[in-house]
Structure 1
């Protein structure tokens, strides 16, 4: 479902057919996260992953067509079964921030974005709202928006198998 009230940010809302505790675990259990947190055809590896308020991550999404995309970030808020807030910063393999243009990204793409995940229970299912501080139009143009949709679909599939 789309919300075009604020095109200055990505906004995705989905109802996940799983309890809120399972959905939160999918975001915070490293063994589950690696199974879904990459777009179709891609894989993710974490060099560092410390999911707690103030914790940091350093990951690489490998895409057979476009190569590796490294990212670092910090968890600003981790509230069990309610909310996750984290930064995403384009980086290199050593964890140093880099200009997105230097790795072939759109010149309008910000070097850092903030992602907020809000979860609410809804009759045994979970309503998930995802926001990212980048224009939804730009995210659709660059592939970031469809990547989120693909990853959430993969999470939904994973949760039905657990």
Structure 2
């Protein structure tokens, strides 16, 4: 699956291949990294069936290009968590809300970007964990959030 990752304001088109055991093979700029994603709170199997032209997907941190040939795989970035019965998407990490990409009442599909959260100088697009309708948006652009804070409710 092709995804777009933004690192320090620079966009990269990245190929992501799901491997067994919550691991992913991430390839870009002629290099391949194996990363492990844990606690993302979304069904990656559902994302695999999404359109191949997906511009946003769960953020699996990709390392910034480095001149040194010795690049280690980055630590995974926690994805949004969803409260079982409520469809509440919460902040996967502390950060600042840069852009809200949806409106209340809007239908969303699994993997569609809901908002962009800046954390540690990286822009992380938070995806919809499932199909549904945006019931409530709890944040606005410029808000600072902590891990676990409610962001958007999907019904």
Would you tell me which structure has more helix in proportion to its own residues?
1
Same fold by TM (over 0.5)?
no
TM-score class, shorter-chain normalisation, is 0.3 to 0.5
Larger relative contact order (CA 8 Å, sep ≥ 6)? 1
Q: TM-score, normalised by structure 1?
A: 0.33
Q: TM-score, normalised by structure 2?
A: 0.34
